[in-house]
A and B are shown apart, each in its own frame.
Chain A
Amino acid sequence: MTDGPADDLRRAVERITQGDEGKRGPAARLGTERAWRTIIERLGPRVFALVRSRCGDADLAEEIAQSVFVTVAEKLSSMTDVSGFESWVFTVALNRLRDEMRRRTRHARPSGDLQAVGGASGDPAFAAAPVPPVEPDPRIRDLERAMQELSPSDREIIDLRHIGGLSFQQMADLLGEPIGTLLSRHHRAVARLRASIERTQKGASSDAIP
């Protein structure tokens, strides 16, 4: 059996959480640095992409991602059970995003763009995000449009699965729902996404000049 990214990540987390009892000096430090780099490489882009998808703001997403990894770095060495590490990281990220969205909503003027900060109802971390800049690939444009039409619940499941790259078990840990329920939610969300894309494409073809 070959090692995959998940194995690299697990080993890196264990390297830091288990530490090097009694070891000091450059070698131990180098090992920790490498392990930390691996964790960032494996999770950083995924956390960033998920938050960016939610808030539609790349700069804010990077700020939140940085904040998340500062928290992870501070608490990682005291973790005793690393099995839920990935779920925990994404939980921290979504909580951080939720706090930021609420803060912005609180500070928004009455005429402000509430929609752009996640909407005034429901979970701000999974409300409809603002439309991203125009993407030249028409398939991506259709997908983005279809994502906007999904309910927050459907978006949540698609984002966690496809942008966060979480397994169903990790999503179950994060959301506190059984795998079967998540699978069903995912199936429905994908069906709606597919239907929405097809509607968009049909509309585009009927609008086309013969």
Chain B
Amino acid sequence: MQMNPQHSEGGGPVEGPNGDAERHAVQLADLAEGPELRDILRRRTQLLADRAGLVDRLEAASRGSLSPGNLRFPSQRTRSWGRVAAALVAAAIGVALFLWPQSQQQPPIDGAPPALAQAVDVGAGVLVETPSEPVLVSLLLDSDVVEVRSSALESVDDPIDLLRARDASYRKLVSEVQLIALAAQGVR
């Protein structure tokens, strides 16, 4: 694991307009810390950074979001099509739900939006058949996490979608999931 670079190699370029000031600061900092305290601080940093598989997980979580130019990672195209299909189905279901009599809906769980509460009633892990592929929908109300997983992904443990659910598109995704899960409830 790559550990914390210390002092003069700790981060950005030392050269430049402020290079002298930075060098001077590093020398003074070295004097202030002394080798013993610096050694303990370095050891503490190593302990704090010690997390098995961290780099791999960070990379896996973020690689789907990395799109310089039009470069795309292999699984992203599949995932995108899955999302498009899910969104289309959700839109169609939304229209149907709009026409669905309110009396047929179940009472909500305390504290949860009615649609989400009903979806949770279905249970974690709902398989929804969309025109293009089956989509696995998991709802975890207690942790504020909504997962949408496509069974077409390479691994169902791929955390990318989970992270995106927490991101800016959270609300939109939640509404889609609610609709999909409600549809699944109807199917069952």
Residue from the set B10, B41, B167 with the largest chain A CB neighbour count within 10 Å: B10
How large, as a class, is the contact surface on chain A?
Answer: 35 or more
Whether B57 pairs with A66 at a CB distance below 8 angstroms is yes
- Which positions 3-55 of chain B face chain A at CB distance < 8 Å? 3-6, 9-14, 18, 21-22, 25-26, 28-29, 32-34, 37, 40-45, 47-49, 51, 54-55
A14 CB → nearest B CB, Å: 11
Interface positions, chain A 34-86, Cβ under 8 Å from B, are: 36-37, 40-42, 44-46, 48-50, 52-53, 58, 62, 65-67, 69-70, 72-74, 76-77, 83, 85-86
Residue of B nearest to A193 (CB): B37
Chain B residue nearest to A38 (CB atoms) is B2
Whether A161 pairs with B49 at a CB distance below 8 angstroms is no
Tell me how many residues of B have a C-beta within 8 Å of chain A: 55
- Say yes or no: B11 contacts A48, CB within 8 Å: no
Does A20 belong to the interface (CB within 8 Å)? yes
Complex CA distance for A70 and B63, rounded to whole angstroms: 8
- When distances are taken between beta carbons in the complex, the residues of chain A under 8 Å from B68 are 16-17, 19, 32, 76-77
**With A62-B57, A66-B159, A169-B22 as given contacts, are A162 and B70 in contact (CB-CB < 8 Å)?**
no
Residue of A44, A167, A179, A182 near B12 (CB, 8 A) is A167
Q: Which of B18, B33, B44, B73 has the most chain A CB within a 10 Å cutoff?
A: B44
**Shortest Cβ distance from residue B71 to the other chain A in the assembled complex, whole angstroms:** 5
A132 to chain B, nearest CB (A): 8
A154-B96 Cα distance, complex, nearest whole Å: 58
Docked-complex contact A170 and B58, CB < 8 angstroms: no
Q: Which residues of B contact A149 (CB under 8 A)?
A: none
From B69, which residue of chain A is reached at the shortest CB distance? A19
Contact A40 B62 (CB under 8 A): yes
Which residue from A19, A28, A41, A168 sits with its C-beta under 8 Å from B55? A41
A169 touches B61 (CB 8 A): no
Cβ contact within 8 Å between B159 and A183: no
B interface footprint on A190-207 (CB within 8 Å = 1, 0 otherwise)? 110110010000000000
- Alpha-carbon distance A73/B67, docked complex (angstroms): 8
With a CB–CB cut-off of 8 A, which chain A residues contact B62?
36, 40, 66, 69-70, 72-73
Are the CB atoms of B9 and A5 closer together than 8 Å? yes
Closest to A137 in B: B43
Q: Nearest CB to that of B2 among chain A residues? A: A41
A123 at the interface (CB under 8 A from B): no
Residues of A within 8 A of B14 (CB): 167, 169
Partner of A169, one of B18, B58, B167: B18
Q: Does A102 contact B (CB under 8 A)?
A: no
B95 within 8 A of A: no
Q: B44 to A170, Cβ gap below 8 A?
A: no
What are 6 A-B residue pairs whose CB atoms fall within 8 Å in the complex? Answer: A33-B63, A45-B51, A139-B43, A169-B14, A179-B18, A193-B37
**Extra inter-chain contacts (12) besides given A48-B49, A58-B51, CB under 8 Å:** A10-B12, A28-B71, A66-B62, A67-B163, A70-B167, A74-B65, A77-B68, A86-B12, A167-B10, A169-B12, A169-B18, A169-B22
| Residues of B in contact with A (beta carbons under 8 Å apart) | 1-6, 9-14, 18, 21-22, 25-26, 28-29, 32-34, 37, 40-45, 47-49, 51, 54-55, 57-59, 61-63, 65-73, 159, 163-164, 166-167
> Which 3 pairs show the lowest CB-CB distances between chains A and B?
A77-B68, A49-B49, A49-B48
